Amino acid sequence: MTVTTRFAPSPTGALHVGNIRAALHNWLFARQHGGRFVLRIDDTDADRSEERFVDGIRADLAWLGLEPDAMVRQSERFVLYQARFDDLVAAGRVYPAYETAQELDLKRKIQLGRGLPPIYDRAALALTDAARAAFDADGVKPHWRFRLDHDAGIEWDDLIRGPQHFAAATMSDPVIRRADGSWLYMLPSAIDDADLGITHVVRGEDHVSNTALQLQMFAAMGVEPPRFAHEALLTGTEGKLSKRLGSLGVDHFRNSGIEPQAIVALLARLGTSDPVEPIVDREKLVDSFDFARFGRAPARFDEAELAQLNARILHQLPHGVVVDRVPAGVDEAAWLAIRPNLTTLGDVADWWHVVEGPIDPPVVDADTRGFLDRAAALAATIDWSTDPWHALTAALKAETGRKGKPLFLPLRQALTARGSGPDMAALLPLIGRERAIERLAAG
């Protein structure tokens, strides 16, 4: 058996952080088992699906490094759905129903008023052929429901939640097709999982009841269902399900200067017993992925934690990974000098401006001015080919007796116009002899 997972977004909007997490976990599990990761575009809703969102989903996955092994579109699979549908109708597992939305709503209210569960009463099954013919003659098109087997128990061993049990008799026969012939989610998804050989489905716990219904669909089609893993949903920092999480997508993270490696490192571990760490090597994340380590409590997503992780990720990235995204002139030596002080990659431009200038010289008192003038004179005499910073500070210390902060801080401020930053031993060679002497003598 080849492990095959799938990620199945609807192209009605951009991916958000919850979608990204589901895609990542499906990708990680497939990679761990040498399997396949399938992208399924759920575009059965022609009115709401847009091609720009399909392009966006593919681009977002590529940016995150979650390239699928195959892609299918539900809109190109209607012939398959129709064939399965016809078989289920013939077998009596799918039936037409004619109630309007208003009638169904009234039924639910009556049931609730009587203290009964608001499930569909299967009135459509009692219709005679003549009654159905009359609806057809009046131009009333039916919607279609899947008939659950109330005598069959619904059970599965969820990879995260453990043993699950549902009573079919307490559930409504789900509508699988609208009166206009368009498909709802449930049946096409099950048909695709069967046809594509999906072995494992990782999705949010809000789909648990869908899984119970779909297991009966798999049984009705005579096919083996996938294994399911339902993970706890993300919550925001306020400690409850957050609408804001639905707006946090790749564009937001990219515009905020977040690296894809940071998003992957956070979401791979969020909600598990494993610590969130600045892991750049994805093979480590693949190797450590384990459903047994997933918790049942909602996973808390914190942008501040992501920002901190992003900085720690940046501090590990080699120059070759970022060379196309940093200012011209930032070679490996410059990158290694600047890298420890970065929060986002956008900070590189600020530090490179410190190197190339011009900078605004600090206002200093007369004593500091005299010290910096002497520093400028000594800077013209030292050897710049090896370690000019330590040569300069050693000469100044010997001549002036200064040490510690009184020695180093005025030099840093004069050379960079900043009170802190990269190691001056690495930064000073980048600034160079002529610029350094000019800055020390300015004022």
Show binding-site residues for ATP.
Answer: 243
Question: To which residue do tokens 């003598």 refer?
Answer: 441
The answer to whether the CB of 209 falls within 8 A of the CB of 234 is no
What lies within 8 Å, CB to CB, of 34 at 6+ separation is 3
Nearest Cα residue to 334 out of 356, 306, 312: 356
Alpha carbons within 13 angstroms on the beta-carbon side of residue 153 total: 5
Q: Is 285 exposed, middle or buried (0-12, 13-18, 19+ CB in 10 A)?
A: buried
Which residues are annotated binding-site positions?
Answer: 243
What lies within 8 Å, CB to CB, of 253 at 6+ separation is 263, 306
* Tokens describing residue 436: 């350094």
What lies within 8 Å, CB to CB, of 199 at 6+ separation is 1, 2, 3, 4, 5, 35, 226, 227
In angstroms and rounded to an integer, the radius of gyration of the C-alpha atoms of the chain is: 32
> How is residue 222 annotated by DSSP?
T
The answer to whether the CB of 424 falls within 8 A of the CB of 415 is yes
Nearest Cα residue to 236 out of 304, 320, 139, 161: 304
The answer to whether the CB of 200 falls within 8 A of the CB of 29 is yes
**Distance between first and last Cα of the chain:** 75
What lies within 8 Å, CB to CB, of 3 at 6+ separation is 29, 30, 33, 34, 35, 36, 199, 200
Cite the beta strand spans of 139-246 per DSSP E. Answer: 143-146, 153-158, 162-167, 175-177, 200-204, 227-231, 234-235
Query: Around Cβ 267, how many Cβ atoms within 10 Å?
Result: 25
Residue 201 carries which side chain, given as an amino acid letter? V
Residue 177, SS3 per DSSP: strand
